[in-house]
Amino acid sequence: AAPVVPGRGNTAANLFQWTWNAVAAECTRTLGPNGYAYVQVSPPQEHVPGGAWWTSYQPVSYRLESKLGTRAEFAAMVDTCGDAGVKIIADTVINHMAGADSSGTGSGGSSYGVDSFPGLYGRNDFNDCRTDITNYGDRWQVQNCRLVSLQDLRTGSDYVRTKIADYMNDLIGLGVAGFRIDAAKHIPASDLEAIKARLSDPSVFWVHEVIGSAGEPIQPSEYLGSGDSHEFQYARNLAGYFDGNIAGIRGISNGLLGSDRAGVFVDNHDTERDTHGTMSYKWGAKYVLGNVFLLGYDYGWPTVYSGYKFTDRDAGAPMSGGRVQDASCANGAVWTCTHDWTEIAGMVGFRNTVGSAPVTRWWDNGANAIAFGRGDRGYVVVNNQASGLNQTFQTSLPAGTYCDVVASRTCAETITVDDSGRFSAQIPQYGALAIHVGARAGDVPTDPT
């Protein structure tokens, strides 16, 4: 897991395709105040031109000049977020460069083409296989051939390793605290270990994007020598439970990576648009419940995904003059702003308060409603039913009047826990409730009006 920041935990938000200026503003406005410890940003390197979101995943050079902002803006974002208590995780694309199907001028003015990244890489820096990956059952092919025509870097070579390490060291120098390693499955684990050893801080946090799939030779567990791995199966399982019934959701991590090594999410930028079997914002109320569970339960290191609305799979965020327009939660027609939804913000605070307290006092109705405590620190109820839930719950909480942090930010709804640790509540259909010792009536300002 990403290192815990004292008093703040380690929850991350992934602000997909947000510009550096917009991320900076959001750190101050919501991410810091909501209690996030990290924000994952889209790839910052120079990339191919065009209006699709995925130009971010076709590097042209490691200059920090992109549709999301300039080097100076990136540096300013790191500082502003740092002042708000939020550290940066950069998405780094190091398996490949631009596709072999295009050439031209990148977002920072560098020219590029097949075998041609002047001053950086030439023909000898790419693997000899020059065809596309077709068989995911073939380890060699997956790691040495081209992923959707993307020119595959010779990560076994000293020179390429040095260039990648230089890029990551540049980001570390600007204050970046961690990295998502894009397409890690397509890079031999030993190459990644060798690259990491060259960093100015070889213990910097890494999370590998390894899309684990049953029956494939390359699995997420193979990458734990250089960091954590994302556990895509968790996201698929989560969707399966919420689509059906959640009574058995305690088994969600059976057979998966150990909790301390698993990066987890409800969805990410790939799974929300392709056929990965996860939820997305399009699931509505169940998506909120999935996020409540992600943050309330004690498995894995969670990232809350926040992107933009789309119908066309390839469509990028609105651009003007080669730049993505600054995201804003005021523009709800475009940006989902998941990271600032009341329920999710409340659960980030919940997670920060319960810390490592174990799951206790499990309750379920054998169907589609569950509840559990986090020791004597907090208690959550998730109702995935099309009808309201009227129930008395046994907690390990001290008696008192608590704020339902899912219902509001202002303690508009309170829950009274009696001397024996019990409370009764009515939870709406597809609704949730969460209380914790960090938010009791009187602690939280009520509506200022």
Chain residues binding ligand LM2 by CB under 6 A are 54, 57-58, 93, 99, 101-102, 147-150, 182-183, 209, 270
Stretch that binds Ca ion, among 36-44, 181-189, 253-261, 301-309 (CB under 5 A): 181-189
Question: Looking at beta carbons, which residue is closest to ligand LM2?
Answer: 99
- Is there a contact between 386 and 435 (Cβ–Cβ < 8 Å)? no
Of positions 65, 73, 152, 182, contacts Ca ion by CB under 5 A: 152
Residues linked to residue 381 through DSSP beta bridges, in sequence order: 371, 433
CA distances (Å), origin 410, targets 346, 407, 414, 445: 10, 9, 10, 6
Stretch that binds Ca ion, among 85-93, 180-188, 284-292, 441-449 (CB under 5 A): 180-188
209 binds Ca ion (CB under 5 A): no
Stretch that binds Ca ion, among 186-194, 314-322, 411-419, 436-444 (CB under 5 A): 186-194
Looking at residue 55, the DSSP 8-state letter turns out to be G
CB of 429 to ligand LM2, least distance (A): 35
Is the Cβ of residue 307 or residue 375 nearer to ligand LM2 in the bound state? 307
Residues with Cβ within 8 Å of 72's Cβ and at least 6 positions away in sequence, in order, are: none
Q: Is 209 an active-site residue? A: yes
- Is there a contact between 334 and 309 (Cβ–Cβ < 8 Å)? yes
**How many residues sit close enough to Ca ion to count as binding (CB under 5 A)?**
4
Give which of 240, 329, 242 is closest to 288, Cα–Cα. 242
Is the Cβ of residue 211 or residue 239 nearer to ligand LM2 in the bound state? 211
Looking from the CA of 70 toward its CB, the CA atoms found within 13 Å total: 4
- 289: partner contacted, choices Ca ion, ligand LM2, none (Cβ within 5-8 A by kind): none
Set 26, 125, 209, 340: catalytic member: 209
- 58: partner contacted, choices ligand LM2, Ca ion, none (Cβ within 5-8 A by kind): ligand LM2
Is the Cβ of residue 58 or residue 66 nearer to ligand LM2 in the bound state? 58
Alpha-carbon gap, residue 401 to 227, rounded angstroms: 42
- 367: partner contacted, choices Ca ion, ligand LM2, none (Cβ within 5-8 A by kind): none
CB of 310 to ligand LM2, least distance (A): 13
CB of 133 to Ca ion, least distance (A): 9
Task: Give, to the nearest 10 degrees, the angle between helix 285-296 and helix 342-354.
Answer: 10
> Per the structure block, which two tokens stand in for 93?
């694309």
Give which of 389, 429, 446 is closest to 288, Cα–Cα. 429
Alpha-carbon gap, residue 373 to 8, rounded angstroms: 20
Of positions 87, 146, 186, 230, contacts Ca ion by CB under 5 A: 186
Is the Cβ of residue 104 or residue 225 nearer to ligand LM2 in the bound state? 104
- Residue entry with tokens 């990066």: 263
Is the Cβ of residue 243 or residue 274 nearer to ligand LM2 in the bound state? 274
User: Is the CA virtual torsion 346, 430, 404, 436 positive or negative?
Assistant: negative
Set 182, 191, 231, 326: catalytic member: 182
CB of 44 to Ca ion, least distance (A): 21
Is the Cβ of residue 65 or residue 182 nearer to ligand LM2 in the bound state? 182
Alpha-carbon gap, residue 339 to 392, rounded angstroms: 30
3-state secondary structure of 17: coil
Alpha-carbon gap, residue 292 to 370, rounded angstroms: 12
φ/ψ of residue 175, rounded to 5: 105, 10
What residues line the site for Ca ion (CB under 5 A)?
95, 143, 152, 186
Catalytic residues: 182, 209
